[in-house]
Structure 1
Amino acid sequence: MSTQELFVAAARKHLSAGRKSLSVPQSLDLAAQVLAVDLGLKPALLYDSNGAGADQLQQYLSSLQCSQLVSKSLLTLDLNGNTLIFNPLTVRAKVEQIIHDNNVAVIDVCHSLEKPTIADPLRGELRSLTHDLLLLLKRLEQLNEAEKPCYVGEKSEEWNLCTVFGILLGFPVTYWFDQTKSFENCLSLTP
């Protein structure tokens, strides 16, 4: 089997939702994204191609790792039902860089604001979130070659997932809002 056929076969075997499996182009696109994570070109991939869950994504990743298509260092992370494949070293370096260099723009989109504003990325809630992520990543690095997805427990329920995904995916700009007050934002009021 060619490398492309191995990627497609793994996706079709492990990532079907009901009777629907990924198409060849979808399988190859996913393969390219996973390879980008493996090579450190991007820190993580948020999987949203179909209804496959964390366990299925872990089986897919394990299959790729057993076929030596990707390194064994990649891990699967489940945050409140949202699944990511991530490179622990790349993500950790990104989070440490945010803490030390303050190099991510955070846009406050709280519903109480008239328009989005630039927020201080190291203010209380955001600093706490970033440090929590760093501690989580340090723990996950010890799980080299995990056979099961890593599930983030109750702590992630306090996190603003919009901000977390922006950080984990390596976006240069991420949104923040105080979800303890409302999950709504002011973006709908912006022309």
Structure 2
Amino acid sequence: MSTPELFVAAARQCLSIRRKSLSVPQCLDVAAQLSAVDLALKPTLLYDANSAGADQVHRYLRLCQSSQLVSECLVTLDLNGNSLVLNPVEVRSNLERMVHGGGPVVIDVCRSLDEPAVTEPFRAGLKTIAQDLIFLLEGFDAGKEVDQGIYVAERSDDWNLSAVFGLLLGYPATYWFDQTDSFENCLAMTPLTVTTASATWQADDATVRKCCLYSFSIPAVLQKETQSHLEDWKLTLEERFQQQNTLKELTVCQSAVTLPSVCL
């Protein structure tokens, strides 16, 4: 079987829901994302192709690893019912950067604000979460215990998942809001700049697919305050892209949107 056929077979064997399998394009999209994580072009894949559970995503990853489609170092994370595949070396590097004062810009989008604002006080909470995740990753960054996924239990109930996802996914900026007050935010009708990074994934001579590696937004009003972080993120992505040959034709573009509501 060819590489694309192996990826499709693994997805259909492990990720089907009530006898309904992913389509071939969906299978290949997941495969391209997984390959990007394996190549450290992105630290994490947040699985959302269908409602397959964490156990299913873990079996899919293990089957891809046993077929030598991706390396053994990747691990799965069940975060409050959300399934992720991590490159633990890259994720841990991002988490440690956050703990030591670096990491993404934290943007306060609480509903009580007139407009979003860069915040420092909320960074302390995100640092604590980063430390908890580093502890969970102990031993996995060396490729050990890959037969067991990582499960975040009750400790994540109070975590702001929007901010945590931004951190795990390697975004240069992440949204935070006080969920003890409300899960609503102040981004409605706020001009946003959406950054999208895409590449071409060529699994074999006959299979070429466009793959979206990143897509995130930053409020336009905070463009100056976040510009240096965005430029550093782009430079790092370009440098890593040049160190591999599986994905080609990297494109980073921006667009402006204003939405009546934004769900985080």
Structure 1, 95-104 or 57-66: larger mean CA deviation: 95-104
Retained in 2: the 8 A contact 1:104–1:121?
A: no
Deviations 1:42-70 (A, max 9, x none): 10000000011011111111101111111
Aligned residue number for residue 184 of structure 1: 184
Q: Contact 2:38 / 2:70 at 8 angstroms: preserved in 1?
A: yes
My pick for the range that moved more, 177-186 or 163-172, is 177-186
**1:37 corresponds to which residue?**
37
Match for residue 150 of structure 1? 150
The structure with the greater share of residues assigned to helix is 1
**What's the Cα RMSD here?**
1.9
Which residue matches 1:136? Answer: 136
Corresponding letter in the other structure for 2:18: G
1:115 aligns with 2:111: no
**TM-score, normalisation: structure 1:** 0.92
Q: Report how far residue 41 of structure 1 moved.
A: 1.1
Structure 1 residue runs of 5 or longer lacking an equivalent are: none
Mean Cα deviation higher: 179-188 or 77-86: 179-188
Query: Is the alpha carbon distance of 1:74 and 1:114 closer, same or farther for their aligned partners in structure 2, counting shifts above 3 Å?
Result: same
Higher relative contact order at CA 8 Å, sep ≥6: structure 1 or structure 2? 1
Specify which structure has the higher proportion of strand: 2
Higher mean displacement: 128-137 or 17-26: 128-137
**Residue 83 (str. 1) matches residue 86 (str. 2):** no
SS at match of 2:78: strand
Q: Which whole-Å CA distance do the structure 2 matches of 1:185 and 1:5 have between them?
A: 43
Could you tell me how far apart the structure 1 residues matched to 2:21 and 2:88 are? Answer: 28
CA distance in 2, matches of 1:5, 1:65: 15
Distance 2:121 2:46 in 1: 22
Structure 1 letter corresponding to 2:94: K
CA distance in 2, matches of 1:45, 1:62: 15
Letter in 1 for 2:12: R
**Unaligned residue ranges in structure 2 (runs of 5+):** 192-264
Confirm or deny: 8 A CA contact 1:105 1:121 kept in the other structure.
no
Q: C-alpha displacement at 1:137, in angstroms?
A: 2.4
Contact in 1 for aligned 2:139/2:145 (Cα 8 Å): no
**1:181 counterpart letter in structure 2:** D
SS in 2 for 1:132: helix
Amino acid in structure 2 at the alignment position of 1:13:
Q
What displacement does 1:157 show?
A: 0.9
Q: Which residue of 2 aligns with 1:54?
A: 54
Corresponding position of 2:98? 98
Where does residue 69 of structure 2 map in the other structure? 69
